[in-house]
Structure 1
Amino acid sequence: MARSKPDLSALEERIGHAFKDKALLRWALTHVSAATQRPDSYERLEFLGDRVLGLAVAHMIYESFPGDSEGELSRRLAALVRKETCAEVSESWGVGPHMRLGEGEAQTGGRKKRAILGDVCEAIIGAVFLDGGALAAEAVVRAAFGPKMHDVGRSLRDAKTALQEWAQARRLAPPRYRVVTRSGPDHAPSFELAVEIEGFDSAIGAGSSKRAAEQAAAAAFMAREGVQE
């Protein structure tokens, strides 16, 4: 007996877009480990969604912060589109149970990996763009990322610098960063890095570059430990 496809209507409701072509959403949820060939995974949609997300967020913050300089807008943009924020959005949408993963990836906790969750968020945005156009995609981005605009505005300072200064003030050794995982194609890699400070548990951050993942890890450490910037 053929296995029925999971009902995606509840997920669509949380995303805020009813897909005319449900195959696009299923494609956005398919990790390379579950694809019969690489183009069948979400990687191409992720590539598109990353660009759509960047434009939509840039438009949103340009309108919302008319007094900000170009540098301030750039920092807001970077904070909102980083993989860690995208992973939070995926979690709020509840994508985990709907993701299609290979057996090995599923057994090693793939549904909770920040890098994969961040990728899926971008892939879904790309799928919405193809299904409903730019306005539909921007509406989804505004609904998901808009509430986070003012939160990241409180943390625009370089997280790595802030964490290093915090460690130095307490006579601790400088933070150390190490790569946990690297995934994705060469044109759109994803990194998970850990930041380690002696005497504390490490914190993990994800990003599309090592630098972005380091910033995310530093920010995650400070948020967990209640470090004030």
Structure 2
Amino acid sequence: MKLSVQLTGFAARVGHDFADPALLVRAVTHSSMSSVHRDDNQRLEFLGDRVLGLVIAEALLQADPGAAEGLLAPRYNALVRRETCADVAREIGLGEVLKLGRSEMQSGGRRKEALLADAMEAVIAAVYYDAGYDAARKVILKHWQPRVGSVAADARDAKTALQEWAQGRGAPPPVYTEVARTGPDHQPVFTIRVTLESGEHAEATAGAKRQAEQAAAQALLERVGQ
């Protein structure tokens, strides 16, 4: 099997020369194409998530040999979470080569965070199957190493930090409310408000609910002096 010019260029950006090109094709095939292609990337995604986790855990231990587990865990979570995987996918143009069914194409699937993150993990698994752990580790570190070096000492996401701040004061968890949704169905924009029991609140707008929630939580943390 020979890769298309587009996929050949993508493989170069990934940083791996596939001995079995069919693995890469499978990795970029979304389940919305299952009626046409029996092999989609869901099983690869499952494996890729685990390979990524092992490599990142190892990299964090090597980067900071003296760090306690309590500090390593939030850093790890920041590096393997969906948003980070999707960011890497965008950097290497993964959305451009995704094989999607018509419904996903029409709903802007190439830009969806979940699809990009899942496909990124599937690509990692494809490299692992094609050439083993060392090859997968090399690819992961190529794209994640700068993040490993710059991840914050306390890398808890803003929602977690805000909830812990509230609980530390005997208050219930913050409440998140969608106050507006604009834009077309394939590219919505959400405005989220987060409110504390005291009535203090903040709002943020983003192209994904989770991003808007995180931004609102960060804004409220800054408002209460954290």
Superposition pairs for residues 98-177 of structure 1, below 5 Å?
Answer: 98-163=97-162, 174-176=174-176
1:133-160 residue CA offsets vs partner (Å, 9 max, x unmatched): 0000000111111111233325513411
- Please give the alpha-carbon distance, in whole angstroms, between the structure 1 residues aligned to 2:177 and 2:47: 30
1:27 aligns with 2:26: yes
Superposition pairs for residues 200-215 of structure 1, below 5 Å?
Answer: 200-203=203-206
The share of aligned pairs that are identical, in percent, is 40
- Identify unmatched segments of 5+ residues in structure 1: 167-173, 179-192, 207-212
- 3-state SS, counterpart of residue 29 of structure 2: coil
Deviation at 1:223, TM superposition (A): 7.1
Aligned length: 198
Structure 1 42/194 Cα, relative in aligned 2: closer, same or farther at 3 Å? farther
CA contact (8 A) 2:29 2:40 kept: yes
- Identify unmatched segments of 5+ residues in structure 2: 167-173, 179-189, 195-200
Structure 1 163/71 Cα, relative in aligned 2: closer, same or farther at 3 Å? closer
Q: Which amino acid aligns with 1:85?
A: T
CA contact (8 A) 1:195 1:204 kept: no
1:39-65 residue CA offsets vs partner (Å, 9 max, x unmatched): 611000000100000001111111111
RMSD, aligned α-carbons: 3.2
Pick from 193, 198, 212: which aligns with 1:196?
A: 193
Structure 1 126/220 Cα, relative in aligned 2: closer, same or farther at 3 Å? farther
CA contact (8 A) 2:78 2:156 kept: no
Normalising by structure 2, we get a TM-score of 0.75
Deviation at 1:162, TM superposition (A): 3.9
1:42 aligns with 2:41: yes
Deviation at 1:204, TM superposition (A): 5.8
Q: Which amino acid aligns with 1:153?
A: A
Q: Which amino acid aligns with 1:115?
A: A
Point out the structure with max Rg over C-alpha. Answer: 2
- Please give the alpha-carbon distance, in whole angstroms, between the structure 2 residues aligned to 1:147 and 1:6: 29
